[in-house]
Structure 1
Amino acid sequence: MSTHGGVMLDDRAVATMMIDAVRVDMCTESAVLECIRRQLNHVGGRMLAVGSANLDHLHHFTARSADRPGYVVGDGDVDWLLLADGVPIVRRARKLTGVRWPRLTGADLLVPILAVVEQQGATVGFLGGQAPMHEVLEHEIAVRFPGLSGVRCWAPARAEIDDPTRAAALATLVREAGIDLLVVGLGKPRQELWIDRHGVNCGASVALAFGASADFLAGAASRAPKPMQSFGLEWLYRLATEPRRMANRYLVQGPPAWWTARGARVMDDPSMGRVLS
């Protein structure tokens, strides 16, 4: 085992890729689940935040430009594990390392992570989304994970998240609820920024910046068919089903972010006999 930015991971299942100032952790699903399991058993330490690196993430968190502030996360009291979600990022990592790294999306990881939470007897909360979706989500979790009791959900308005005082108050509510793992679905970059700024005060051991994963679990949103996902065409499905919302992300912001991803460099690569330290 080794410590990766404060996160304990299996050396055999990890490589680090830098894209501009964004650190992407190439690893396996089993390594992520084991990391979360250990974190839930380690009360009182630094929070572990798990996020997804895709082209939308690169748009918000790489070099500054006239239309975006170039947000930075990971310099505070939260340990980040940023997983390769975007197909262009996964393909770049495979080319650079010669290792067939898996694509790890929040939507795919949420169910096995909830199974870990249930096994550990921990509590879970959801921050983000709409109240009607939460009702369906709570029912779905009760059916699939009967050992998960006391699931809590919060549906803050965007104005609450953008206001520092009200955003901090949300962290207090989460702490008072005694949540061990918090799923934050506020969209990028709000979810990452909220976790980085307020996560340490919410009392949870683990936070997941997983976007619409809860909506998918509740059936409030649909994912692309498996064949489209396997060919890296999930973006096309989302563009076709939500054109007004997704056109700017994929057609305007996406191409520059794709070019940024091509400048990725590997920092730690198991295939080269190096481990993280």
Structure 2
Amino acid sequence: MTLIRRDPEPGGVDPRRAPAGRHQPPAEGRTEPERVRLGGVPVDLHAHADAIERIRRCSLTSGERPLGVVSVNLDHLHYFGERRILSGAFGLREGVHGDIRWLYLIDGAPIAAQARRTTGHAWPRLAGSDLIGPILAHAEADGVTVGFVGGAPEVRDRLTEALRAQYPRLDFRGVWSPTRAELLDVDASAAIAAEIAAAGVDLLVVCLGKPRQELWIDRFGAATGAKVLLAFGAVVDFLAGRVSRAPEWISSHGLEWAWRLMLEPKRLSKRYLVYGPGAYRTLRRSSAGAEAP
């Protein structure tokens, strides 16, 4: 495991300089999202600004269970959807409240389309790669401490440099880069969580890929002492500049998956070409209406 730290810097900036995201919501001002079940998993129907504000508010609030934020896409359904081996493995299970409060945000275009069919209203995609800019800008302005878990060794230095350049007053506490063996070892993961807690991280961006990041947050998230834990997958690669975002016209047509597949065919072909179609069939076959959050 490798840790890179940076001394905190005082001050803040106007969060309005961060991009507002590519997809705007149909309406703002909702205090609590409606929760539906799509493809066997919960999905919280949030407007863009409301999702950002809820994450911000939780990052500033002490004494509550940590908030875990999940991106729901077809890959998520493949692992956690109806009748999958990991179904109910984390989050709100039948009558069971764990250490983490979970917020399930729409990521993939098929999820957004199914939410529209289910509710009769259009809901925006709230991908982690779109949310992370406003979230970090607010953290910089509010003095919220930030840390990352994940990223290949060659990405760590680039991420640190990118954060210093884009968010010069961000109170950035470090990048933890555990090996796969460390993530599979309970004692090693517990030690990583203890290091993060000692560093005083308020907002932890967990980029370990599905399903590992959600399971790690569920098991060790509370021990990190973080108030908010973002299961944001490839965000670390986007921020570090290792992988480029899709052009707007590709993203707006729901084809960002094809862009990523073109860039990383070896790593992503099974996810999109093998797992994806089955998850899509599950999504269309087994979606339901609103449920209690």
**TM-score of the aligned structures, taking structure 2 as reference length:** 0.84
Alpha-carbon distance in 1 for matches of 2:142, 2:201? 13
Please say if residues 47 and 207 of structure 1, whose CA atoms lie closer than 8 Å, have aligned partners that are also in contact.
yes
- Contact 2:148-2:174 at 8 Å conserved across structures: yes
* Counterpart secondary structure, 2:175: strand
Percentage of pairs with the same residue = 47
Q: 1:266 is matched by which residue type in structure 2?
A: G
Residues 38-86 of structure 1: per-residue CA shift (max 9 Å, x gap): 2122112100011100000000112345xx5446211411000010001
1:175 and 2:197 correspond = yes
Aligned CA distance change for structure 1 residues 13 and 101 (closer, same or farther; 3 Å)? farther
Quick check: 1:72 aligned with 2:89? yes
Task: State the match for 1:110 in structure 2.
Answer: 132
Give 1:236's aligned residue: 258
- Matches of 2:156 and 2:48, distance apart in 1: 26
Q: CA deviation at 1:150?
A: 3.6
**What one-letter code is carried by the residue in structure 1 that aligns with 2:213?**
Q
In the TM superposition, 1:179-258 aligns within 5 A as 179-258=201-280
Tell me whether 1:18 sits opposite 2:37 in the alignment: yes
| Structure 2: runs of 5 or more not aligned | 1-27, 93-97
Choose from 152, 170, 184 the match for 1:162: 184
- Counterpart Cα distance in 2 of 1:93 and 1:168: 37
Q: How far 1:15 moved relative to its partner?
A: 2.3
Distance 1:229 1:37 in 2: 26
Shift of 1:131: 3.1
Structure 2 counterpart of 1:52, one-letter code = S
SS of equivalent residue, structure 1 residue 51: strand
Structure 2 CA distance for aligned equivalents of residues 264 and 60 of structure 1 = 16
Contact 2:81 2:87 in 1 (8 A): yes
Q: Secondary structure at the match of 1:168?
A: helix
Is the deviation greater in 121-130 or in 19-28?
Answer: 19-28
The match for 1:27 among 30, 35, 46 is: 46
Residue 236 and residue 82 in structure 1: after superposition, are their counterparts in 2 closer, same or farther (change >3 A)? Answer: same
Q: Is the CA contact (8 Å cut-off) linking 1:107 and 1:214 kept in structure 2? A: no
Paired residue secondary structure (2:156): helix
1:48 corresponding residue in structure 2: 67
Distance 1:12 1:148 in 2: 27
Amino acid at match of 2:51: V
Following TM superposition, by how much is the alpha carbon of 1:242 offset from its aligned partner in structure 2, in angstroms? 1.6
Residue of structure 1 aligned with 2:154, choices 113, 128, 132: 132
How much does 1:13 deviate? 6.7
2:287 is the alignment partner of 1:264: yes
Distance 1:58 1:207, change over 3 A: same
What do the CA deviations read for 1:81-139 (whole angstroms, capped 9, x no partner)? Answer: 01000110100111222222111100010110001111211100000002331212112
User: How many angstroms apart in 1 are the aligned matches of 2:49 and 2:89?
Assistant: 28
Shift of 1:249: 0.9
Amino acid at match of 2:135: I
Please state whether the residue corresponding to 1:236 is helix, strand or coil: helix
Question: Which residue matches 1:272?
Answer: none
Structure 1 unaligned residues grouped into runs of 5+ = 1-8, 269-275
CA shift in 2, pair 1:96/1:150, >3 Å: closer
Moved more, 112-121 or 51-60: 112-121
Contact 2:145 2:202 in 1 (8 A): yes
- Structure 1's consecutive aligned runs of 4 or more residues displaced over 6 angstroms after TM superposition are none
